[in-house]
Structure 1
Amino acid sequence: MAWSLADAKALLAVIDGIGAEGLAPADYKPAALRAAIAAGEGDALNEVASKSFAWLAEDLRDGRTPMNARVQWFAVDKDVDVNPTDAIMARALDSHDIAGTLAALNPTYPDYAVLKDALARTPRADAKTRALIRANMDRWRWFTRDLGEYYLMTNVPEFQLRLVRRDRIVRTYKTIVGKPGKTATPQLAEEVENVVFNPTWTVPQSIVVGEGLGAKYVNNPAKAKRDGYAVTTLPDGMMVVVQQPGPNNSLGMVKIDMPNPHAIYLHDTPARGLFNTVSRAYSHGCVRTERALELGMMLAMLKAGKTPEEVTAISQSGKYTKVPLTSPMPVYIGYFTMAKDISGQLLTWPDIYGRDAPVLASFAQPRQPKTGQRTIDEKVEAIAAPGL
């Protein structure tokens, strides 16, 4: 695209000041752009300015951190689809508002601005803190810029879930997340499709066979019923054990279903005493949610048109009931080791899964070209059990 000297100088000014957004000016070749400006308008300036602009726009829109440094990142950012780089550049050059067009790519979630302010206040001598702030600013860029009017946002290291409307917290809920290692909770961006009241739980074969649960119940249906299980033997001999609805069900009284390839969802738990512990990384990957029944009832009213009387009757019926949502409720599972807590205070949390190190290391290296990859290649272990 054709760049005027004025637009190229405006781009250079943005690059020179991009440290305020937690990015490094050197990544966007300011020396080469300065030399091209000195040489005047023409093909050389067009090429250099376009490349610098594209790299900066991509990092502001999608995040600087390469996919190979995003551990268990499976949240597809749709911003590149709705706001492609060429369209951003054309808009900037047509309006001659280079700075404004690039600033419009910044995340809108309030935490990003809080982190930006913290970066401005942190002395350059405190390199460790500044690096952590920059890494967590970038994590907001990994998500879609517009999170929606209503959405659920959980921050794994904080052990908290928020119900949010227009970026303002409506309710908060303590969470229990995956144990470090193979059952760590991944980072996702999904949508709630159903709220299941009085859910059943199909016991994984690792427990049915491996722990002998099937053999325990298959010839004793009366005991299975007393213990809250139903056992079916398939023609091929496979035993299917389903835990029936009830207060002792491993999923509790409600399951908030957000279909995804990793079988991760939000759910209640009968072991509610664990919410009183400080570091709550006990599950097999799913997010156990405090007051999940309250949350499920709210979702059924907000997004399925149910009345308070209807959801109360459904929840108290004791019967398995799936309530499909008529409009989507986005769910974001993030991993921020520095962010505002539920009271609005900027805090840091322990890096329980060790995900900071690769992000910090990537910032210490030159910028990597974008590959077009949208999620990481890493696989998540299948869930063995809710984990009581």
Structure 2
Amino acid sequence: MINIGSIRRDLCAALAAAGVLAASATPAMAQVLEQQDPLAGEDAAQVTLTPDFQTQEVVQEDNRPPAVQEWTGPQADALKSVLQNIGSEGLDPADYRIGALEGAMLSGDRDGLNYVASEQFRWLVEDLRDGRTPMEARRQWFVVDPDPDLLPSNELMAQVLESGDIRSIVDILAPVHADYAALRDALAATPAGDTEARRMIRANMDRWRWLPRDLGGQYLLTNVPEYQLRLMVNGRIINTYRTIVGAPGRTATPQMMETVEGVVFNPTWTVPQSIVRGEGLGERVLNNPQWARRNGYRATRGANGWITVVQQPGPQNSLGRMKLDMPNAHAIFLHDTPARNLFDSSNRARSHGCVRVERALELAMTVAILGQGATRDEAVAISTSGEYTRVPVERTMPVYITYFTMGVDVDGNLRSYNDIYNRDAPVLAALDAPRVDNRARETDEEAVELIDDIRTTAT
């Protein structure tokens, strides 16, 4: 367990020593860092460890409960009640063949009852745990949910049948995030006649089920349409940061679940060949060394004649003063930008896919200290050195890049956001269509490597 109160005090001191507070010097930022901290003091909250999904005990195939299990009449009746009331979780009771379950209960056919009840229970588990929306309707969704491995359907069935508490399956599987609860409350408060509002609430409740049920003790979560990033510890927002995300189209930011393995201070930027060759930057750097030095560019020509251009650390570097190292097939990461004026824009869907973060050096120091990759003094020295430095973190932190068009904003208010990538329509259509069984766990969409170009934000 780590006392985050002491870490935050170290962070504030480090930011002041590095000149970040003075340089940023906005009243709002000073308040975020220096006013009462809910995690500071003698009773500071302890950071719980992020679940390690790779170390869970695996039940041997031969010992797993069967797909069809024994159901008594009262247990089947309790399941019927759960299915009839599942609309409160944003699911549709019509998906679960309640009539067939009633018929099996009345028939006296025990084998038939066992089969129907087991099947409907499994369908319910899959929708509560994994989401009702099939993968083909989740555009650019590259998260692989670990919950089916952690909470297998047949084992859950055996668990609730043994306890007799069939209703508990809803509490076992419903997302634990407070934003899901807020959407559930909003659904309960929305009149049945307001079908469009209810459809949007249900769609965004389902998006929470696409993620791991437990996001971990500490993590970063960014909601692309909201243009905001949250640092979360033990279910509470510690800091928030405005973001710039990918422009609609090919450069739209994909939805991912990745891991921060390190923090890069004073990063270099390898310029993509579309600029080096396509726009002649390589020749310009080689032929105009003074201009190149002034802008931090270094170029080398290989034996094949190709020119490689790397922008060195400095105030004009396209990645700013930091980036979070989170290896992934898309080459997407969180980073700084020298064009900080763009954070004041209302439309911040302007990048080539990566997520740019305001007060980025503050975030970098926070992650480095929380991850025990650097002490306060080390973070100050590294950040002010001007030298490229990668700080690996001992305690890695998950990053969730999500897409919610309705949710709780950073001020605690439930609101809607613009569907900037037009991703609502396929989700809504899937929820209106008949339920799909045997759904894929992973997308078959191609992971396109997105090469960020700072100049795309300048329009």
Task: Give TM-score scaled by structure 1 length.
Answer: 0.98
**CA deviation digits over 1:308-339, x for unaligned, max 9?**
11101100000000001111100001100100
Correspondent of 2:362 among 287, 294, 306: 294
Query: 8 Å contact 1:157–1:335 — kept in the other structure?
Result: yes
1:57 maps to 2:125 = yes
Task: After TM superposition, give the deviation of residue 188 of structure 1 in Å.
Answer: 0.6
Task: After TM superposition, give the deviation of residue 93 of structure 1 in Å.
Answer: 1.3
Partner letter of residue 230 of structure 1?
R
**How far apart, CA to CA, are the structure 1 residues paired with 2:412 and 2:236?**
11
- Residue 178 of structure 1 corresponds to 246
Partner of 2:374, secondary structure, is: coil
Correspondent of 2:309 among 241, 249, 260: 241
- Corresponding residue pairs, total: 388
- Residue 179 of structure 2 corresponds to 111
Correspondent of 2:390 among 318, 322, 326: 322
**CA deviation digits over 1:261-282, x for unaligned, max 9?**
0011000000000001112101
**How far apart, CA to CA, are the structure 2 residues paired with 1:23 and 1:156?**
25
**How far apart, CA to CA, are the structure 2 residues paired with 1:295 and 1:373?**
32
**How far apart, CA to CA, are the structure 2 residues paired with 1:41 and 1:199?**
69
Query: 8 Å contact 1:5–1:40 — kept in the other structure?
Result: no
1:351 maps to 2:428 = no
**How far apart, CA to CA, are the structure 2 residues paired with 1:139 and 1:67?**
11
1:141 maps to 2:212 = no
Gapped runs of 5+ residues in structure 2?
A: 1-68
1:34 maps to 2:102 = yes
Partner letter of residue 31 of structure 1?
G
- Residue 339 of structure 1 corresponds to 407
**How far apart, CA to CA, are the structure 2 residues paired with 1:246 and 1:297?**
18
Percent of pairs identical after alignment? Answer: 58
Task: After TM superposition, give the deviation of residue 381 of structure 1 in Å.
Answer: 5.3
| Greater Cα offset, 375-384 or 277-286 | 375-384
**CA deviation digits over 1:45-71, x for unaligned, max 9?**
111011100011001000000001001
| Greater Cα offset, 33-42 or 56-65 | 33-42
- Residue 320 of structure 2 corresponds to 252
**How far apart, CA to CA, are the structure 2 residues paired with 1:40 and 1:7?**
14
Task: After TM superposition, give the deviation of residue 375 of structure 1 in Å.
Answer: 2.7
Partner of 2:145, secondary structure, is: coil
**How far apart, CA to CA, are the structure 1 residues paired with 2:393 and 2:108?**
58
- Residue 229 of structure 2 corresponds to 161
Partner letter of residue 115 of structure 2?
E
1:211 maps to 2:279 = yes
Correspondent of 1:44 among 82, 106, 112: 112
1:127 maps to 2:195 = yes
**How far apart, CA to CA, are the structure 2 residues paired with 1:91 and 1:248?**
59
**How far apart, CA to CA, are the structure 2 residues paired with 1:291 and 1:40?**
67
Gapped runs of 5+ residues in structure 1?
A: none
**CA deviation digits over 1:66-125, x for unaligned, max 9?**
001001000111101111111111111121111102321000000001000000000011
Correspondent of 2:350 among 282, 290, 309: 282
**How far apart, CA to CA, are the structure 1 residues paired with 2:134 and 2:452?**
31
Partner of 2:398, secondary structure, is: strand
Query: 8 Å contact 1:150–1:329 — kept in the other structure?
Result: yes
Query: 8 Å contact 2:372–2:395 — kept in the other structure?
Result: yes
How does 1:49-88 map onto structure 2 within 5 Å? 49-88=117-156
Query: 8 Å contact 1:73–1:376 — kept in the other structure?
Result: no
**How far apart, CA to CA, are the structure 2 residues paired with 1:337 and 1:184?**
15
**CA deviation digits over 1:180-204, x for unaligned, max 9?**
1110011111110110000000001
**How far apart, CA to CA, are the structure 2 residues paired with 1:102 and 1:130?**
20
Task: After TM superposition, give the deviation of residue 378 of structure 1 in Å.
Answer: 4.0
